[in-house]
Amino acid sequence: MSGLIGKKLGMTSIFDEQGHNIPCTVIEAGPCYVTQIKTLENDGYEAIQLAFDDKKEKHTTNALKNHFEKAGVTPKRILREFTRFEPGSRKTYGEELRVDIFQEGEYVDVVGTSKGKGFQGVVKRHGFKGVNDQTHGQHNRMRAPGSIGASSYPSRVFKGMRMGGRMGNDRVKVINLEIMKIMLEKNVILVKGAVPGSKGSYVIIERWS
């Protein structure tokens, strides 16, 4: 696996050679810096930790300051671990990774945090149909879930019964998004289709070889 941390900027569309209008998400990806290398001997598994997006030193705790100093980079806002990052390749502390690790036409997975929707009913949250009739005795239960179980047996509601509740604000991964364009000098990539999260939210772009 290889990847980068990025920031979702928004959506736009581009036209390909055939003139097709392709919806794209613009992601500012990298430059990311290697801040920690985890090894099998030391940590029990192999991973590298990447850092992205500058933050002020006065907003950094002393513990993190030293962590960044060890890697020789300025304080960053976000740290993420990537397991088995490009097996076989050797990374060094403080190494800069930019969007040129990807290629146009490649397929990547993008992980983000979906927009919070608040407390939602079962129709929006789980795709229930609700009650399809407005007449025939229905008056205030158009979007009701219906029965949630039987009576004397089991005398309880089964765990995991789908009901209303908080929706969104979850970790969501979208797989197999095509990279349409890479702009190395601006650290920007365009992926085909939508990506979870609001504008300005952080996303992780992964490529599995």
Partner 1 sequence: MSKQALLQYVDGLTEMKEYPAFQAGDTITVAYRIVEGSKERLQKYQGVVLQRKGEGITATFTVRKMSGNVGVERIFPIASPFIDSIEVNKHGKVRRARIFYLRALKGKKARIKERRY
Under the rule (CB under 8 A), what is the footprint of partner 1? 7, 9-10, 12-15, 19, 21, 26, 28, 183, 186, 188, 190, 199-200
| Minimal distance, residue 11 CB to partner 1, in Å | 8
Residue (188 or 194) nearer to partner 1, CB: 188
| Minimal distance, residue 97 CB to partner 1, in Å | 19
| Minimal distance, residue 141 CB to partner 1, in Å | 34
Count CB-CB contacts under 10 A for residue 48.
Answer: 24
Residue (21 or 209) nearer to partner 1, CB: 21
Residue (15 or 153) nearer to partner 1, CB: 15
| Minimal distance, residue 201 CB to partner 1, in Å | 11
Distance from C-alpha of 37 to C-alpha of 108, rounded to nearest angstrom: 23
| Minimal distance, residue 26 CB to partner 1, in Å | 5
Residue (167 or 188) nearer to partner 1, CB: 188
Distance from C-alpha of 35 to C-alpha of 93, rounded to nearest angstrom: 6
Residue (30 or 145) nearer to partner 1, CB: 30
| Minimal distance, residue 198 CB to partner 1, in Å | 11
Buried b (16+ CB within 10 A) or exposed e, 54-72: eeeeeebeeebeebbeebe
Residue (100 or 170) nearer to partner 1, CB: 100
